[in-house]
Structure formats: C-alpha cells, structure tokens
Structure 1
Amino acid sequence: MEEREMHRKVTRIGNNLGVSMTEALKSIGANAGDHLIVKVINNEIRIQKKKQMDVPDGIDSEFFEILQEGMEEYHNTLKGLRNR
C-alpha cells in the first residue's frame, strides 16, 4: 500500500467546510460524477472510489445502486445464509 502525505487547508464553501483534493482523487482514479465511499475510522478519513456495475439494458442503474447498498449493509447476514 502506497502512502502519500498531502497538506490541505479547510475552507468555507457556502455553509459547508471543504478541502481541495484533486491530486488525491486523481490518484484513486476518481473523476467528476463518480461515487465515493467515505469512512471515518478513529479520526482518520478514508476515501475509495465506488465500483460501478455494468447495468443491463432496460434496467435503471439506481436500482443496482440500492441493491448494492443493501448487500453491503447486510453482508454478514447474507454470508451466514450462504453458509447454511
């Protein structure tokens, strides 16, 4: 795992706080419009690009996003059912 340290200043964007992370996002292959997974673990923020699934013709991609979120949320339950 490659580790890179970058120093950034938190800025106000309207009523929100933000940080410019163009270099870091490019390093994980993120582009405008991509979905990211952001986790806060012991005062560390981890960001990863969400994998996009190929959507069959005629099926709404939002359906697959909801399905994937449910599968991630109930991963351990589904794993337990598989092992029965």
Structure 2
Amino acid sequence: MNGAMTMNRKVTRFGSSLGVSLTDALKQIGLGLGDEVDVVVRPEAGEIVIRKMKPRVEVPEGFNPEFFATLDKNMKKYRETIEGLKNR
C-alpha cells in the first residue's frame, strides 16, 4: 500500500458511546472538525472504512447533469495531457 499509515488503537468510551481516536489519520486525509465523511461497514470482513466526502455540486436549472459524468471520464482519460498543459 503506497503511503498507507498503520495505527493500533483501543476502543474507548466517549460519554455513553464507544469510539476510537483517529486525529492523526483524519489530518492525513485533510479532515477536520465539522467535515462530512462516508462510513462503509463491512461486517463480513471486520472492516469499517471512513472516506472523505466529495464536495457536492448543485447543477443549475437547465444544465445537463450528465455533463459532469462526461467531464470526469475525460479528466481521468486525459489526466496526463491536462497536467502537462497546466505545467507549461
């Protein structure tokens, strides 16, 4: 795993809840107080995955929402070319 961080933590009590302190890990992916995350629970694998949420984009009225899917596809396809143009 490239750039992976491994930490050992104990489950502790936070008020009447159980939790794990992940401050250093959250900082590594740019998360801070009030940021929203996606939490995926995989009981069969014994895993909980926390992901930084992507910013939500509101599409103006009359704008085709498929534009963003096409844009994303092309950004991925031509990323190297776009990066080269940016650095000229």
TM-score by length of 1: 0.58
2:15 aligned residue: 14
Which secondary structure state, in structure 2, belongs to the residue aligned with residue 25 of structure 1? helix
1:51 to 43, 49, 54: 54
Which 5+ residue runs of structure 2 have no aligned equivalent?
A: 60-88
CA displacement, residues 30-51 of structure 1 (integer Å, 9 cap, x when unaligned): 1111000111222111111111
> Percent of pairs identical after alignment?
46
Q: Which runs of 4+ in 1 moved over 2 A?
A: 53-56
Aligned residue pair count? 57
RMSD: 1.9
Larger Rg: 2
Q: Which amino acid aligns with 1:21?
A: L
Which 5+ residue runs of structure 1 have no aligned equivalent?
A: 57-84
TM-score by length of 2: 0.55
